[in-house]
Chain A
Amino acid sequence: MSMKAKRSWFLLFCLLPGLVLMALFKIHPTIEVFQKSFYLWTGIGDKPQWVGLRNFTDLFHDDVFLLSLRNTGFLMLVVPVITLFIALVNASILTRSKLRERSLYRTVFFFPSILSFVVIAILWSFIYHPTIGFLNAGLESIGLGKWALAWLGDARTVLWALAVTMIWQAAGYYMVMYMAGIDGISPELYEAASIDGATPVRQFFHITVPMLWEIIRITIIFSINGVLTISFVIVSIMTAGGPDRHSEVVMTYLYSQAFANSNFGYAMAVGVFVFIVSFLLALLSNRLTERGNN
């Protein structure tokens, strides 16, 4: 065999397995989602029937979908903002104040982000549990028994309860990212600032946040996408969309349309819609957070 032929065979050996997997389990399904969202398709044996944009126009007359969109929007706004703020504050405390035990905190805070979402969801279902949960028991023991609620069973609190779980899960992950970023900031900047009498809080807003801005922009997009993924597991285990659909999110709605109602075409339209919206959100957040001076 010539050298050139050997090289070609080697390349094929390198690239083929990956490309076959990608084509089969990623590229093909992605094309299918876009294509079949224009079809009415109700059942595996059925022949899909072209309906044009009807699936998409139906979305806007579907009250449950609109409610799930609103709930998802709430989580996509509240969870990233609070998560990233906590992560940023903790990262800057742990890197800037030279506490001896800081690596211990880092280890502890990062831990929830490697736990299974299922374990987290089950654990928090019991924290919120009206009779055996320790949240209500804790409130009672400090004399705030009248604040005890069925957190996941009450339409007013359910989304916040889910948001807290998601923040608990993710804050440590972003904290570690920010710590890496802060380690890259020149210490002289902080020294100069403290000689000029800037308080740690001022240093946080005038040095840490601006210097980390590019990383913060990336994490905003990561976090918005993360909410989509994790909300599926958290909601389907903790509330199943209840009470009365008040915690339904788009991903659980997509799933139930597909696998409970066999409404495949419609479910794919939901998928396409969410994909486009989250893509636009990423663009929008990129545009809004762009700094004028560069």
Chain B
Amino acid sequence: MAANASAQPARSSHPPQTMPHTGRQPFAWLGRLLLRLLLIIQALIVVYPLVWNVLASLKTNEEVMENPWTLPKHFNWSNYVNAFTTARIGDYMLNSVLVVAMSMVILLAAALPTAYALGRMNFRGKTLTTNVYMAGLFIGGVYIIVPLFILMNNLHMLDNRFWLSAVYATGSLPFSVYLMIGFMKSIPKDFEEAALIDGCGYTSTLFRIILPITRPAIVTLIVFGFFDFWNEYVLALTLITSDEKKTIPIGLSNLMQIQQYATDWGSLFAGLVIVLIPTIIIYALLQKRLTDGMMMGGVKG
């Protein structure tokens, strides 16, 4: 294999990248055209519903009813005003921001020290603890929602945004711990030894030495956490009962129920756009982190 690899540059004087596709087959350009066509059609299938949604959010009700393929005659911003005033999207959004922030704090406070202990220290019960988290990867969501609801009812934790956040954080904990243990293990041992000799305690070693090194992984955790918490539906539907504490996915699905009778499509579409905006911004900023992180966590399982 090694001999083969070293012989390669001599063999191909033109760029090796293009070799398999050009020259040999006269119809290669036709193949590329067809491939491009296939990809463009798929891209349209992904993008068009979103474009349509934005257009519909700027139409009047009559225009929405008329023909889904036309452009709005003039931009009808009142849908957005309605979304904030009558549909109270702003309040739902504020709840979501609050819940996402609290969930993130709880998640990081629990996951980072846990991963440090499991990834870099030795103690009795370490394997058992690790296994608890690994088993936790497979259990969640709708399966355990009934006993969770009953437990939280008995402990008076229902209809409380803090406890909802705690449940969210717990849901993401096994994956986060799993991801961080891998990172923690990759840091050389000398770091702590040097720190301990310099008189750093355990806590300051963790916070001043280790956590700064793992910052890329922490950013990945935060990105994943954001999407999980911002989009979560089932738990929020079950654990929050009063309208003024509901998060945005619940607010939107309520809005949809109402619109079916009131037929004010415009403000529903405006609501959807308002929810999409933070997602799109974060995706645009952190897209690479996200897909890289996914490969890191998902493939090397």
Contacts and interface: CB of A to CB of B under 8 A. Distances in A.
Contacts of A259: 149, 238
Interface string A16-52: 0111011011111110110010000000100000000
Interface stretch (B72-80, B82-90, B211-219, B289-297): B289-297
B121 A11 contact: yes
Given A21-B173, A119-B275, A141-B69, A29 B148 contact: yes
Contact of A115 (B31, B140, B279, B287): B279
A96 B19 CA distance: 11
A239 B229 CA distance: 24
Interface residues of A, number: 89
Contacts of A22: 132-133, 136, 170, 173-174
A14 B49 contact: no
* Interface SS of chain A: helix
Contacts of B18: 98
Contact of B38 (A24, A93, A237): A93
Contacts of B52: 127, 134
B129 A15 contact: yes
A93 B36 CA distance: 10
A191 B110 contact: no
Interface string B28-53: 00011001101100110111011011
B276 A119 contact: yes
Contacts of B248: 116
Contacts of B8: 188
Given A6-B202, A119-B276, A32 B147 contact: yes
A181 B249 contact: no
Given A118-B252, A177-B295, A111 B109 contact: no
Contacts of B58: none
Given A18-B111, A114-B279, A122 B256 contact: yes
B145 interface: yes
Interface string B267-301: 01000100110010001000100110011001101
B117 A15 contact: yes
A109 interface: yes
B242 interface: no
A97 B227 contact: no
A108 B47 contact: yes
Given A218-B301, A255-B142, A133 B68 contact: yes
B144 A29 contact: yes
A141 B146 CA distance: 48
A268 B265 contact: no
A264 interface: yes
A19 B129 contact: yes
